Structure 1
Amino acid sequence: MPTRFLRPLLAIAIFLLSFSVATGPAWAAVTDWQKGGSISPASSSDFASASFQQSLRNLAAIHANYVTLIIPYHQSNIWSTDIQPGWDTPTDASLIAAIHSAHLLGLHVMLKPHIDPYDGQWRANINPSDRNGWFANYDKM
């Protein structure tokens, strides 16, 4: 009778003990993580402003190594193929100044265009009527 209970108890004990010998948490062995933040302009000259410069210094102070500059462009609606700069698209001079400032602080720069429809629809729903035309215009940005 005792052997009838001994085998199941032994199996349960071995099963539970197998969890107690597990090692601690595993960590990824990545040495070059991209640590940073994204900055979106409030106007066409915002990337050359003092507040932008302070934002870059703040990123560098927390040991970031990347900054993503959001470049806003616009199109009429989700089906249109027109893509044009807007009131918040940085000027070339502002963008060049931003990249230069970031590099001086040791930050890598990633440019990330955002194309927003003027009619307020969500950019994820962009579905141009002429995809080739849309990408041709995208290429001209």
Structure 2
Amino acid sequence: MKIAVAMSGGVDSSVAALLLKNMGHEVVGITAKILLCADMDGCEPRYDVCCSPESMNAAREIARSFSFPHVLVDVEEDFSREIIDPFCREYLAGRTPSPCIHCNARIKFRKLVEFAASLGCEKLATGHYARLGLTESGR
């Protein structure tokens, strides 16, 4: 089965991709390119946050290391319109918005599922909500 894996460049999504590949699935790594702020005055990209240039490069390198393709999905316009603009309106109205909740639902999952389908993938996997357990040996 052809499965897209939403890759953050972190351990959980990387392990999910490797497990699926080892199970015999055709894996395609996909990473959302959200907002790099390269064209904004006074804006410097952060490298220690979700969807940073560093994390995108890490995802690409992991895919290369395990011999499966990796694609960046440009969702900058959608992110700005659906996450940043409403965040600013809420913040200016004196409320404390939670952009990550909306980003997960509207960008990371909806847009990535759509993109995965356009690649011919039957499913989208993530490293979210991994269940940890012990083996019989206690490890």
- TM class, shorter-length: 0.3 to 0.5
The higher-RCO structure (CA 8 Å, 6+ apart) is: 2
The TM-score normalised by the length of structure 1 is: 0.40
Larger Cα-atom Rg: 1
The TM-score normalised by the length of structure 2 is: 0.41
